[in-house]
């Protein structure tokens, strides 16, 4: 069976072969042209240039690839666990339950939410690329007050109710108009900082019961692990 070299091994072997060639050339060329200690100095420089630099560059590339692969796997885990969480709530399909994982982007002022995963009754969906401020919506209130909230919209003008939750009219008009119940629970990291929101919404008001609150609070620590570990992986 053919044996394949790992990328790290290949990087080291190539660097060593380059280093040996450079070192030999520097050593013997300098030995003839000048004297022994000059040759030794050239030998050292040859090793530094031919071995260490390629190793550092190559291993740096390997490290970046490992981080990228790890991030990809964690995103897959987030997607799968969002789907599992949807099933835990056991809400009738007619209510149109959606479960969305929101991550906090603190690079802007005010901070904003970024969708990382979403699952609906017919399965996982691609997260929306649109964002909203942490000053808006039930998710924003959950973030600011650092606790779980359930909110039900009354029958009436959906847009006006969204305006009351901090959205501009143009933003409110982009939302689906059949949303009537919302449950948002904060996700805390090891330092008790809110790093995300588990957001649920449904078509039917008053669909979320006390047991649903308990489920949301039970699963959020698992999401915290998924969201916080990639940050450490980039260090």
Which tokens in the block code for residue 169? 């009219």
Burial category of 155 from C-beta neighbours within 10 Å (exposed 0-12, middle 13-18, buried 19 and up): exposed
Tell me if the domain spanning 89-233 has CATH number 3.30.450.40: yes
14 vs 111, residue with greater confidence: 111
Residue whose structure tokens are 């970046």? 64
pLDDT of residue 14: 47
Confidence at residue 36, expressed as pLDDT on a 0 to 100 scale: 52
61: helix, coil or strand?
A: helix
Per the CB < 8 A criterion, the answer to whether 151 and 213 are in contact is: no
Residue pLDDT, tens place only, 39-77: 555 454 454 445 555 555 555 555 556 666 777 888 888
Q: What is the pTM of this model?
A: 0.70
**Helix (H) / strand (E) containing 91:** none
- Give burial (CB, 10 Å; 0-12/13-18/19+) of 121: middle
- Does residue 169 surpass a pLDDT of 90? yes
Domain boundaries, the chain: 7-68, 89-233
Mean pLDDT of 70-87: 89
pLDDT above 70 (res 185): yes
Long-range CB pairs of 174-181, under 8 A, 24+ apart, other chains included? 174/130, 178/96, 178/203, 179/153, 179/203, 180/152, 180/153, 180/204, 180/205, 181/95, 181/150, 181/151, 181/152, 181/153, 181/205, 181/206, 181/207, 181/208
pLDDT value of residue 233: 41
């Amino acid at each position: 069976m053919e044996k394949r070299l790992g990328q790290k091994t290949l990087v080291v072997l190539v660097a060593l072969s380059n280093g040996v060639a450079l070192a030999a050339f520097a050593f013997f060329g300098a030995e003839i042209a000048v004297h022994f200690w000059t040759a030794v100095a050239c030998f050292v420089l040859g090793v530094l240039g031919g071995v260490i630099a390629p190793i550092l560059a190559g291993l740096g590339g390997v490290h970046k690839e490992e981080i990228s692969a790890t991030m990809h796997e964690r995103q897959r885990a987030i997607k799968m666990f969002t789907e599992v969480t949807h099933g835990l709530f056991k809400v009738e399909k007619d209510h149109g339950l959606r479960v969305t994982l929101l991550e906090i982007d603190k690079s802007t002022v005010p901070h904003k939410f970024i969708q990382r995963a979403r699952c609906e009754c017919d399965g996982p969906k691609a997260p929306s690329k649109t964002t909203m401020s942490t000053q808006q919506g039930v998710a924003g209130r959950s973030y600011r007050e650092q606790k779980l909230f359930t909110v039900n919209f009354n029958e009436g003008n959906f847009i006006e109710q969204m305006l009351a939750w901090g959205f501009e009219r143009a933003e409110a008009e982009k939302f689906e108009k059949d949303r009537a119940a919302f449950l948002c629970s904060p996700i805390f990291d090891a330092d008790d900082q809110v790093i995300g929101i588990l957001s649920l919404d449904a078509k039917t008001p008053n669909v979320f019961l006390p047991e649903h609150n308990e489920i949301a609070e039970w699963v959020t620590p698992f999401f915290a692990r998924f969201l916080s570990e990639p940050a450490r992986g980039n260090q």
